[in-house]
Each structure stands twice: as structure tokens, then as C-alpha cells.
Amino acid sequence: MRPFDGRRVLLGVTGGIASYKSAWLARLLAKAGAEVDVVLTRAATEFIGAVTFEALTGRPPYTALFGVGHALDHIKLARAADAIVVAPATADFVARAVHGHGDDLLAACLLAAEAPVLLVPAMNDRMWAHPQVRQNVARAREIGYTVVDPDEGMLAAGEGSGPGRMPEPEAILAYVGRLLEPASALRGRHVVVTAGPTREAVDPVRYLSNRSSGKMGVAIATAAHRRGAQVTLVAGPITVAPPVGVAVVAVETTEQMAAAVREALPRADVLVMAAAPADFRAAEAAPHKLKKRDGIETLALTPTADILLATRDVRRPGAVVVGFALETRDVLAAGREKLRAKALDLIVVNDALEPGAGFGVDTNRVSVLHADGRDEHLALMSKAEVADAILDRVAELIGGR
């Protein structure tokens, strides 16, 4: 899985109760394709066993700075790593790291490292709020380490809730991916992505919509964030969790989605319209629930606004605009017409009737139509892979402008 395949990640685990989450992080890294070297501090082994990590990664963990045949482990591990993540990073470890201590294997690895370093502090909320800890965290960022602030939530037993909780492993995985991603033309750019369906009321309890899950838009937002972009996700009611680090604007109707996109576009370098907004709404929504016993002969419909057309006048000069077209017949012809009519740089088209390429699945088979007349027909692949394929082409367009 991009960008983990074949990459070497050094996972450092220090002595905190949150170390139980580190085991799942190790598993996620390995499952994504990374080679994971785990370094446990002495205190970490009081909370979780080394054999757990060996079973999850297929590689023996490291626990000691010195030992016969292991005198230079800190140099070898640091040189081999493409990224180093310390999760959890206790207050003590952060202090030792920023003051250049090398009195255990993990701290010595940081001193010998040229790879990017991610620290994930986890501790009691009072410790996290202490001025010395805050100063050490600030110093870590000055050194060049990336520091992920802890989440707010349940702490150790009896300590209630507050800031200090280690983020979930899936969130940490996203930050590691950002460290591993090669330099991209999207780094520092503002990317707006839309995802999911919209809902248009028929009465107070019913609506017109479609079967879009939002998976494709979320995959694009995730990939854009991993490439270093500032991402705004304008999402209708989606069935998947939004990606970590992305600003989410939740909407319900097509009109609300159009307004949110219109507000974001003047600052956007890229717009990817991956949502499936409802094309029609009730001409007049009923004020009360329509009763079956009363019968209804017709339901008058009226078209909703076309978001890409309605926002042409606020697009930033030079912005790259990508549309999506889900069709059931004349797929390429319909896509080309939308590409021209909506002044797009690219349009991604697919057939809703093709197995594995419609709503609610994790795969897609798409064609990418370019404004210069080129057509690219991609193989069936995961939506994450489709997202990267689309953003590769967006990056080329940005780099040429």
C-alpha cells in the first residue's frame, strides 16, 4: 500500500499504559506493507511483552542498548529507517529526546537518525499541561520532529477524561504515511474534495438521495492529506469515517454543498468533485409526513443546482478542477460532454452497472478524460489506488502551471 510498501519503519514504544495500542499500530504498519523494527524501552516491557510485537511484525524486537553482537544496533536501526515513530512517547522520553540523551537504545537511535521522526505523546492530562512538558514539546518541534498532540478522552483508571490520551493507531498510521510520502506538487496546496450523497426532503421523514457511500471522496481526501496538502472535505451523509487531519464540512442538501464549495473555492488550488449530489428535489416538500392511506398520484420534481457550473465564477485562476461522472450508458460520450460544459481539467467516469465499480464497494474501474482530448482507461483497482492515480495526474497539471 502506498507509501508503505517496502519501507522501513522504526516503531519506538515507551513505558505507558497506552503501549497496548502500539501493538495494533505495529500490525497496521506491517499490514500496509512496511518492514517494522520495534524498539522497546525497559519501562515499556513492564506494560507489554516483546513477543507480542514479534508475532505481529514477524521481526524480533530490540530492547537493550548494549549486548554481544548488538553494540551498533542504534546506528544500524537509525540508518535503515525511512521513518521513526515513538508511540506512546512519555513525558520522560520527550524530555530526554530533546536534551540529546542517549542512555537507552531508542534515544540513541534518535541521535543517530536522519529519517523523519514522529513523536506521539501520551500521559495524564496534568502532566500534558505542565509548563516543562509544553516547553519540551515546543523544543521537539524546533528540532524538526513532528509531534501529534494527544486526543481528549478517557485516561487511566480513576483519572477521568482529558487531553493526554494517545490517538488511535489508524490516526497515527495516517501521520506516518505523510512522513513517508515522496515530495509532491500538492504539498502545501489547498485541496477541496466533495464526497457522498445529498438528501432532498420530500416530507419531514423522507428524502430523495442515492446509494453513494462517500468512499471514493474520502479516499481522495486521505491521499491528498498524505501528500502534504491542506484538505477540506465537504461531505454529505457518508458511511465511512472522514480521514485524520482533514477539515470536514458536513452538509445535507445539494444547496448546502454548493454553498460550502463556493465558500472554499477562492482559496483552493484543487477541487475534486467526487460527491454524488441529488439531481432532483421535490418541487414542494410536504410540511407533514405523507400518509400511505391518503395516497399520492404524482410527486413533482425540480432539478437541483449543478455545483460545478454554479461555482465556475469563484474558481481561483489556475486551479485544477476534477469532476466525476457515474453513468449507466454512453459513459465516455456523457463524460466528454460534462468535461466541456463544466470547463474541467479532468473528468473521472465509470459505469454504475459494472460489478465492482459502482456504489458501496471498495474497488472501482474508471476512465480519466483530459481536457486536451486524451483518454486513459484504468484497470479495476481499490478506491485508494484510484485516488492516487487521480492525484498523480492533478500533480502533473499543477506542476505545469
The arrangement of strands across the sheet holding 247-250 comes to 247-250, 230-235, 190-195, 270-273, 320-327, 346-351, 367-370, 375-377
Asked if 46 contacts 15 with a C-beta cutoff of 8 angstroms, the reply is yes
Among the candidates 142, 157, 180, a domain finishes at: 180
257 pLDDT tier (thresholds 50, 70, 90): very high
Q: Span 85-98, mean pLDDT?
A: 97
- Within a domain: 1: no
By mean pLDDT, which of 115-119, 171-175, 207-211, 309-313 is the weakest? 309-313
Catalytic residue among 136, 210, 350, 364: 210
157 pLDDT tier (thresholds 50, 70, 90): low
pLDDT at 154 over 70: yes
What span, in angstroms and rounded, lies between the C-alpha atoms of 270 and 390? 12
Residue 350 a catalytic site member: no
Give the domain range for residue 23: 8-180
pLDDT at 68 over 60: no
Q: What percent of the chain has pLDDT over 90?
A: 83
Q: Span 109-137, mean pLDDT?
A: 96
Among the candidates 157, 180, 203, a domain finishes at: 180
Residues 163 and 226 placed together within one structural domain of the fold: no
225 pLDDT tier (thresholds 50, 70, 90): very high
The pTM of this model reads 0.89
Q: Span 30-58, mean pLDDT?
A: 96
Q: Span 335-360, mean pLDDT?
A: 91
pLDDT at 67: 67
Residues 66 and 201 placed together within one structural domain of the fold: no
289: domain CATH number? 3.40.50.10300
pLDDT in tens, 315-332: 999 999 999 999 888 999
Within 10 angstroms of residue 134's Cβ, the number of other Cβ atoms is 11
Residues 128 and 202 placed together within one structural domain of the fold: no
pLDDT at 353: 87
Structurally, how many domains does the chain consist of?
Answer: 2
Quote the mean pLDDT of the chain: 93
Pairing of strands 280-282, 346-351: unpaired
pLDDT at 156 over 80: no
pLDDT in tens, 162-203: 898 999 999 999 999 999 999 899 999 999 999 999 999 999
Q: What percent of the chain has pLDDT over 70?
A: 99
pLDDT at 88 over 90: yes
- Within a domain: 310: yes
pLDDT at 198: 97
pLDDT at 373: 94
Tell which residue, 41, 291, 68, 32, has the closest CA to residue 172. 32
Residues 217 and 355 placed together within one structural domain of the fold: yes
What span, in angstroms and rounded, lies between the C-alpha atoms of 76 and 360? 45
pLDDT at 69: 62
Residues 87 and 135 placed together within one structural domain of the fold: yes
